[in-house]
Structure 1
């Protein structure tokens, strides 16, 4: 995406706030027009006030100067306030657009990009876009008008001398074009380095216990130091390139000014220009230094913003989850048919699931068993369409899941994952999450009781209103799982996917979780991803998987009699439990 396309797209986010932006622009125009007023007032003050001793001029000029500064101050206040409002709103709109996109991204997108990179885009990249979308535009408009106004006054005073200024223009244009390309590339490198640094920071914070227990502090320090150094190097290179370009432009400007001063002095000797005219011309030239410096500096700011905009729009333009289903069902019965199912992850060449066919009757409890990587979780993740099936189909109550809108499909599925997801909110808000937020308090309490969670909730300082910390850090593993089960109970969906993770719990917590699960699966089609085989002995059927295929199927007793894969796994786990 080229610079002009990026910038025009950025300006679309300014368009909803065009009224405020227009007020800011008009105020900046007024500010720019006041700049040539100072040298314009100097000429009559010197020629008529000091040289000709005109008392009226001596009285009027100071008053006019105060009036000009008052107008400039008011215009500055208005433009700054309006611009701050527009710039902040543009950043807010971009962040909301990015967050909405993140919410709609398919699961594969999160498999391919870290949380730290996404955090960097939403925080760091957007703040840099502010400079490109508003601040740089302000500089371009205000300082360009200031330069034009000063040049106009200089032309009025002496057009021959002023023409010399344009000698430097072609050189400045060529310099800025060369520098722009370099700055754009360096700013992209800076953003990538910043994203990598944020990723390392996020990983270290979230894994701080692992870092401590395995003595990972030196390793993490080194990783973070290298990432910071990469940011430093990219930033310094960018600043150096910008400084060189500014120095070149300023040197060219100084050469032109020196030439003009020399010629003007020669003309003053021949009375071709008055003292007031010379001072006014020289003042106007001196006043051009600041806006020219701003205009040369704005290129760096603009390229930073455009590089950030490219990163942001790359995220916003990512494809959302495919949601073309039109057949809405109020509530599923719960029959699931897997028909000749094949699935391959994007980054892999081999299938994770191979020609898998299976029928799960409504209300049946199925346990998926197998070694790590056998396809258990993959199979469960295809039901709510977290991933798109490569070949074959899944039918729910005889209807292809692709024909159901995602919201309708997922409102019929409850999920209790292996890694329980809880938010830094109240206990009640974590149970009645999302679409259930307005659930009456008595129903939340009933779900918590059914999940055997009220016994520890009632002991908390504020009961259901207790803040549980980030990811439920203030709770034990068993308590977190019981809250997740209470959430699933409150949803009351006909299909339950339970990624059982009781092996890391103590005996009492495991018993509580198992009792909660027994209550939860009543009257529901339940798929349990089993990690501890002793907990799924009562399942209606146990599906044994290996390398993406179903290798055995039956009840706990039937599979033990077969003396196959399941019996071997069960014996191995018994030996581990004994140890």
Structure 2
């Protein structure tokens, strides 16, 4: 069964049954994303107030800033508690379903399995799956809301600069898609090599008596060294390919910043925007969570695009 089908089944049978909990979690994620995006508004408000020497507004800045920080902190606390609760419920259901299924098989099935491996599936493997599912869903929704809130804030501050930023980062979609497609292919080759190394080690260790009898230690060592070197070479190819995405995003971020500073200087000189608008725009792209959300959404889009092309081409191969 393919990974997509497995995830779809897990979602239908074990996650969506807690749709009430998920719907209750959604507003909390919205609050966290909105509070995160509002930091740019705080900086705009503070900068404009200082530039205008408005002491009444300046006096409000600390209270407003702390209010938003407290709201976001409360949202993050609620998000952590609710996410953990959903994950533990899913974990319990998965363990119960696995145990019930295992109890229905015959004795021969038990005889073929190591007891330690069975216990590990209940205590370790299923825990990883349960938490990964909930964390992935939460992160995807939270990052999407953060991106939407950040884009809305940028357009509210200045639509011209926002259009420039969106245009620059849109340029990253195609090269990131190519990087993701190449990484997918290299990962498949690397996994095949890991399988080859595993089979080779099993063959050598299983025939240790034969190796010792005919003094084949040097030959088997050379075979193992060659397999290890090939595994290293493929791993470095994959590392080089993956290392390209972050510098690409960094360069595009620099281009966006340069464009913002240039256009903002012109627009401020013509009284079309304020210095507070500029500080707010920089804050939207410079904050860690907003920048991370932008980068992850772009990389996710690139991987989805590469995956769609692979799925389209596979029937013709």
TM-score (normalised: structure 2): 0.68
Aligned to 1:538: none
Q: Deviations over 1:510-567 (max 9, x none)?
A: xxxxxxxxxxxxxxxxxxxxxxxxxxxxxxxxxxxxxxxxxxxxxxxxxxxxxxxxxx
Instruction: Give 1:45 shift.
Output: 1.4
Higher relative contact order (CA 8 A, sep 6+): 2
Whether 1:32 aligns to 2:33 is yes
Structure 2 SS opposite 1:73: helix
Alignment check: 8 A CA contact 2:40 2:284 kept: yes
Alignment check: 8 A CA contact 2:169 2:252 kept: no
Q: CA RMSD in A?
A: 5.2
Structure 2 SS opposite 1:149: helix
Aligned to 2:44: 43
Q: Deviations over 1:254-298 (max 9, x none)?
A: 312321221111111222211222212222232342322333455
Q: Deviations over 1:272-330 (max 9, x none)?
A: 21122221222223234232233345579999xxxxxxxxxxxxxxxxxxxxxxxxxxx
Aligned equivalents of 2:123 and 2:301: distance in 1? Answer: 22
Instruction: Give 1:143 shift.
Output: 1.9
Whether 1:173 aligns to 2:173 is yes
Whether 1:79 aligns to 2:79 is yes
Structure 2 SS opposite 1:58: helix
Larger strand proportion of the pair: 1
Instruction: Give 1:124 shift.
Output: 9.4
Flag structure 2 segments of 5+ consecutive residues without an equivalent. Answer: 306-317
Alignment check: 8 A CA contact 1:250 1:293 kept: no
Aligned equivalents of 2:91 and 2:229: distance in 1? Answer: 28
Whether 1:293 aligns to 2:295 is yes
Q: Deviations over 1:442-491 (max 9, x none)?
A: xxxxxxxxxxxxxxxxxxxxxxxxxxxxxxxxxxxxxxxxxxxxxxxxxx
Look at both structures and tell me which one has the larger radius of gyration over its CA atoms.
1
Whether 1:269 aligns to 2:291 is no
Q: CA distance change for structure 1 residues 191 and 155 in 2, over 3 Å: closer, same or farther?
A: same
Q: CA distance change for structure 1 residues 194 and 154 in 2, over 3 Å: closer, same or farther?
A: same
Aligned equivalents of 1:229 and 1:87: distance in 2? Answer: 41
Aligned equivalents of 1:121 and 1:72: distance in 2? Answer: 37
Deviates more, 1:86-95 or 1:31-40: 86-95
Aligned equivalents of 1:232 and 1:123: distance in 2? Answer: 32
Alignment check: 8 A CA contact 1:201 1:224 kept: yes
Alignment of 1:355-504 (within 5 A): none
Q: CA distance change for structure 1 residues 128 and 182 in 2, over 3 Å: closer, same or farther?
A: farther
Whether 1:260 aligns to 2:264 is no
Structure 2 SS opposite 1:35: helix
Q: CA distance change for structure 1 residues 299 and 126 in 2, over 3 Å: closer, same or farther?
A: farther
Alignment of 1:128-147 (within 5 A): 133-147=133-147
Whether 1:243 aligns to 2:243 is yes
Alignment of 1:102-117 (within 5 A): none
Aligned equivalents of 1:14 and 1:192: distance in 2? Answer: 33
Aligned equivalents of 1:124 and 1:198: distance in 2? Answer: 23
Q: CA distance change for structure 1 residues 74 and 263 in 2, over 3 Å: closer, same or farther?
A: same
Flag structure 1 segments of 5+ consecutive residues without an equivalent. Answer: 304-579
Alignment check: 8 A CA contact 1:168 1:256 kept: yes
